[in-house]
Amino acid sequence: MKKIALAKIDSLLEAISKDMNLFAPVDNKSTVNYAEWKSGDVAVFDKMTVRSAKDAFFPQCENMSKFSRDQDNKIIIDKLETCDKDFVVMGVRGCDIKAIAVLDKVFLSEPVDTFYAARRDHSILISLSCSKPEETCFCTTFGIDPAQPKGDVEMYIVSDYAYFNTVTAKGEKLISSLNNLLENAKDSDIDSAKVATRDIMCKLPLHDVTTDGWGAGVLEEMFNRPEWEQLSSSCIGCGTCTYVCPTCQCYDIRDYNGSNGVTRYRCWDSCMKSDFTMMAHGNNRTTQLQRFRQRFMHKLVYSPANNDGEFSCVGCGRCVAKCPVSMNIVKVIKTMGGEKL
């Protein structure tokens, strides 16, 4: 266990960013979001980011290949290089660490997504124990312990110090390289902080959200529930929930014809949009009810049915905080459970 005074945390960030790219929650005056940290930036570790650390591995938009013609008019295909340098993602809360594990099952299964796999291979995750959980958090519903968030290195903020506990060989190598900036600490120094976080979670408004009745084996029962019509009627289909969600993985692939050839790129897509998976004959889900149901059935039924019971929600609460009409996964869960809202 190592520690550094919070007053000196910038020197630690400087040391990390000197040798590799560092992504951290950065205050950009209006919001806190993950970005590549540079000297002078303010890193914020006591607020939930608007978007998750997913962007570091699965960017909202990325080029995949380029097509051009040579002097003989033959087509040249240039596949873009994948990530080949180590980088650090710092301040990742337990919910987002779990979300990355969910994404791993999607992008690292055959056929492996080489862009994602390269970033995961070169990433070093410094997770963050939640000292100030948001009122919209309900990660414990999905078995996540926000007080012990895993990752390659676990980071704890207690009083005026940041503590670092190494978990993996990657994490040990990183912390060892920073030894000249860190002091020795005892494991017991963070025990009270863990207890405090768990106590807070038990008092949050959504602490009693339960997945009872959801999961594998309830597809037909849940799919045909009449409540979907009532729930979906207020949804405006903006897709905000999918864009702030740390586990959503849908994307579209398109070609851009520019002056120097064609660039093939992919960008995030949303199952809440009317043109999602549009084909020559149209779209399989033509109503807002069908699209709304698809999103939550995937999170709470399809995903656990295909992933040994693992839900595709981590209770980060971002969709609860950002939905413009307050129609979110918590309301779906509670309504289906018979609770009147």
| pLDDT reported for residue 282 | 67
Helix axes 114-122 and 94-107, enclosed angle (nearest 10): 140
| pLDDT reported for residue 30 | 84
Report the alpha-carbon distance of residue 321 to residue 266 in Å, rounded: 27
What are the tokens at 8? 């000196």
Contacts of 57 (CB under 8 A, 6+ apart): 100, 103, 107, 116, 119, 120, 123
59 phi and psi angles, rounded to 5 deg:
-60, 155
Domain edges within the chain: 2-201, 219-336
* CB half-sphere exposure, 59, CA atoms < 13 A: 13
Query: Tokens 């926000």 sit at which residue?
Result: 146
Report the alpha-carbon distance of residue 163 to residue 276 in Å, rounded: 44
DSSP calls for 188-217 = GGGHHHHHHHHHHHTTSTTTT---TT-STT
Report the alpha-carbon distance of residue 167 to residue 122 in Å, rounded: 16
Are 310 and 38 contacting, i.e. CB atoms less than 8 angstroms apart? no
- Tens digits of pLDDT across the chain (341 residues): 999 999 999 999 999 999 999 999 999 888 999 999 999 999 999 999 999 999 999 999 999 999 888 888 888 888 788 899 999 999 999 999 999 999 999 999 999 999 999 999 999 999 999 988 999 999 999 999 999 999 999 999 999 999 999 999 999 999 999 999 999 999 999 999 999 999 999 999 999 999 999 999 999 999 999 999 999 999 998 999 999 999 999 999 999 988 788 999 999 998 888 777 776 666 677 788 999 999 999 999 999 999 999 999 999 999 999 999 999 999 999 999 877 65
| pLDDT reported for residue 341 | 57
| pLDDT reported for residue 149 | 93
Q: Distances in Å between the alpha carbon of 272 and those of 134, 241, 286?
A: 26, 9, 11
Query: Tokens 């180590």 sit at which residue?
Result: 86
296 phi and psi angles, rounded to 5 deg:
-80, -30
Q: Kindly tell me the sign of the dihedral angle through the C-alpha atoms of 300, 31, 103, 198.
A: negative
| pLDDT reported for residue 77 | 85
| pLDDT reported for residue 222 | 95
